[in-house]
Amino acid sequence: MITNKYIYHIELLVGLFKILIPSVLLGRWLVAVLPFQIGLFQIPLYLGVVVAFITCRVQYDRFYQRRDAAQRGAVLAPEIKGRWPGNVDILVKLVKAFHEDYPMSFEESLFDELQSDTINVRILWQDLILTRDHHIIKTVLATRFLDFGKGDANNKTRLALTLSLRSLFGLLGNGIFNTDGEEWKAHRALTRPFFARERVSDLEHFNHYGNKVIELFLARALSAESIDVQEVFARFTLDVAGEFLFGTTKLDTLDLPLPKPGEAAVGAKGSLGHDYGGFLNALEQIQLIISQRIRRSWLWPLYEWWGDATSPYSKAIDDWVAPLIHEALEAKKKRGSEKMNVDEGSLTDHLADSTDNVTLIREELINILFASRETTASLLTFLMYMLSQHPEATMKLRAEVMDILPEGAPTFEDVRNMKYLVAGTDHPSPSTSLLERDSPLVCPSTPQHAGVYTSFGFPRRSWIQANIHAWLICQSDVFRFPHATSKDLWGDDAEEFSPERWIDPERLKIMTSDPFKFVPFNAGPRICLGQKFAYNEASFMMVKILQVFDGFELHQEDAPPGSLPPSSWKDKGGRAAIEKVWPLSTITLFSKGGMWIRMHPAETDAE
């Protein structure tokens, strides 16, 4: 059987043959018809024929796509014209910008350069449509949902590789994130009941780990030292997920030593103070490999020609998860025909209740762990950052918390009554949705610059990056980055941190005028299953923090060397000029070197 592992090799060979066979035939014909012998000059001749063949093929495809779009009353999205073949120079700039620039600013400059909110970056001849146009995002995510997919799951023998399916395979296998069509539907049906309202509205399961976070924060605050809140929130969300999803308290990462101010090293994602051990290191490593793959575009498998770089780490994950699944299946046997109640047990138990397929359970668990962890941690981290920069918002938020619940664990109702908190947390971590079209599509007309309406035709097999990322970060109050159209979407104060925009009726009208302006959790049929869980988790943690602390000071000088934003950002204007941390993004957003905050215990200030 052909496994996913070898598909790239086969695709590459098929692709090469498709180019080489006609080129060789053409070359032989040329050699035969030439009236003289060319000897060794045959080599450059054959090379020339290959180059000419590829060029003609690319031009023909372009001509065909343009004609097809025109027949449908559309145009192709404006294309970035790099200096090097295949836009290799743009690829190099993208990678460089990823390491050095303010997130998405290079992409933003490309939108601006072409004066369009939808562009084709066409890296290495692969159509890559970037869009920050919410009309198109709506089409992709909702109205024409069925026309788009995560990747080419059915046709496994063609050269176009998709980022989503193939590059994430090492980690996510065929889980909910990584599948399409009927397979995805089956996953969603399997997992959805676990996120029933009764279960996610029970905030009690955050309490144990929430208390641990407070203890850690207090210990550092009492010694007047800063703490890397990013690291703490990453562990908090992980430990919560471990219990909620896997039904295990074995992770307990909050008990491991934390990085110390001034002594931490720059880690893969944040600061590094401790080696987590097998399972967690494996998770971190795989996520890094995936983000590397995304940057390498469709060429990534070449870097892993001799073996899937994720394999050793997948094995470590398997070794950790397998006994938990085994336990859940054994427990099911003992229960006999009795099914579990919807509000009992972990996700592992529920999945085991529905299937004996160990691979399916494993993949589903890892998918949801992947979905749940960094996203919520990132939201909490950047919310703390914003509070550190806006003491007036901290005061307002704390006043609300102290008014409703000065101590104790908040319930779902408590949180729901905290209007300012809800507004403050309405800024989830950005993410990028990357989808693929398998046939040409014309999107509905969308207003482009200068009020001109345009319909874009997306060529067959384009990758479409609904650029929720660029698009999202600028519009939420926590994640705002310079964005050409954010003011059009969100008003003149788009770049200001202002939870009030979610409360003031007039401003709220702007926010809610089109639900597709704000899609951090995706939209349409594939909307995030954990949205309520994430809001509850983040709100719970913030209430606990604000009951104990009344001020947060950013101490980014305690971060490892090289973590502060480059001084060149000062000239860039917008958020880049004022940012005090260096936001970086792999799949979710994080702060380089951690987010070092000194907490002020409320009692200390009162004295």
Q: Which is nearer to ligand HEM, 114 or 470 (CB)?
A: 470
**Could you tell me if 242 and 251 are in contact, meaning their C-beta atoms sit under 8 angstroms apart?**
yes
Provide, rounded to whole angstroms, the least separation between the CB of residue 176 and ligand HEM: 5
* Subset of residues 377 to 396 that bind ligand HEM, contact rule: CB under 6 A: 379
CA 579/CA 565 separation, integer angstroms: 7
Q: For ligand HEM, which residue has the nearest CB?
A: 530
Q: In the bound complex, what is the minimum distance in angstroms from residue 224's beta carbon to ligand HEM? A: 31
- HSE-CB at 279 with a 13 A cutoff on CA atoms is 17
Query: Which among 47-55, 332-340, 372-380, 394-402 is the span making contact with ligand HEM, rule CB under 6 A?
Result: 372-380
Residues with Cβ within 8 Å of 254's Cβ and at least 6 positions away in sequence, in order, are 209, 212, 213, 216, 232, 235, 236, 239
386: CB partners within 8 A, 6+ apart: 393, 477, 478, 497
240 lies in the binding site for ligand HEM (CB under 6 A): no
Shortest spacing between CB 529 and ligand HEM, in angstroms: 4
268 touches 367 (CB < 8 A): no
Neighbour-count burial of 217, counting CB atoms closer than 10 A to its CB (0-12 exposed, 13-18 middle, 19+ buried): buried
Q: How far apart are CA 435 and CA 129, in angstroms?
A: 10
CB of 120 to ligand HEM, least distance (A): 20
Closer to ligand HEM by Cβ: residue 53 or 233: 233
Q: Which is nearer to ligand HEM, 490 or 535 (CB)?
A: 535
What mask, x for binding ligand HEM by CB under 6 A, covers residues 347 to 366?
--------------------
For residues 344 and 557, which CB has a smaller minimum distance to ligand HEM in the complex? 344
Output phi, psi for 551, to 5 deg: -160, 150
DSSP string, 458-487: EPTT-EEEE-HHHHHHTTSSSS----TTHH
Cβ closer to ligand HEM: 273 or 345? Answer: 345
| CA–CA dist 328, 347 (Å, integer) | 10
- Strands in 148-149's sheet, in edge-to-edge order, are 118-120, 128-131, 463-466, 433-437, 148-149
Least distance from ligand HEM to the Cβ atom of residue 378, Å: 7
Q: Which of 368, 386, 421, 442 binds ligand HEM (CB under 6 A)?
A: 368
Binding span for ligand HEM by CB under 6 A among 72-80, 313-321, 371-379, 390-398: 371-379
Closer residue to ligand HEM in complex, CB, 225/353: 353
Nearest to 551 by CA among 226, 84, 67: 226
CA distance 392 to 455: 45
Listed residue (541, 544, 198, 191) closest to 369, CA to CA: 191
Q: Which amino acid belongs to residue 498? A: S
Among 375, 476, 536, 539, binds ligand HEM (CB under 6 A): 375
Residue 538 CB, nearest distance to ligand HEM (Å)?
7
Minimum CB–partner distance for residue 141 and ligand HEM (Å): 9
User: Of 287, 346, 376, 556, which lies in the binding site for ligand HEM, with binding defined by CB under 6 A?
Assistant: 376
- Residues 14 and 459: their CA atoms lie apart, in Å, by 22
Among 371, 442, 541, 584, binds ligand HEM (CB under 6 A): 371
Task: Give least dist CB 372 to ligand HEM, A.
Answer: 3
Annotated binding site for heme: 528
Q: Which is nearer to ligand HEM, 297 or 425 (CB)?
A: 425
Is the sign of the CA dihedral 518, 369, 297, 144 positive or negative?
Answer: negative
Contacts of ligand HEM in 160-179 (CB under 6 A):
176-177
Beta bridge partners of 265: 272
Per CB under 6 A, the segment of 3-11, 85-93, 375-383, 504-512 that binds ligand HEM is 375-383
The residue (of 153 and 221) whose beta carbon lies closer to ligand HEM is 153
Q: How far is the CB of 543 from ligand HEM (least distance, A)?
A: 17
Interface of this chain with ligand HEM, residues 517 to 556, rule: CB under 6 A = 520-522, 526, 528-530, 533-534
Q: Which is nearer to ligand HEM, 136 or 368 (CB)?
A: 368
C-beta of residue 279 within 8 angstroms of C-beta of residue 381:
no
For residues 559 and 595, give the distance between their C-alpha atoms in angstroms, rounded to a whole number: 7
Rounded to an integer, what distance in angstroms lies between the CA atom of residue 19 and that of residue 84?
21
Question: Are 306 and 8 in contact, with CB atoms under 8 Å apart?
Answer: no
The least distance separating ligand HEM from the CB of residue 192, rounded to whole angstroms, comes to: 9
Enumerate residues 482-521 that contact ligand HEM by CB under 6 A.
Answer: 520-521
User: Considering only residues 428-467, where is the footprint of ligand HEM by CB under 6 A?
Assistant: 428-429, 431, 433
Q: Residue 340 in contact with residue 350, Cβ under 8 Å?
A: yes
Residue 468: CB minimum distance to ligand HEM, A? 6
Size of the site for ligand HEM (CB under 6 A): 22
- 69 vs 136 by CB, closer to ligand HEM: 136
Can you give the length of the chain in residues? 607
Site residues for ligand HEM per CB under 6 A: 176-177, 188, 368, 371-372, 375-376, 379, 428-429, 431, 433, 520-522, 526, 528-530, 533-534
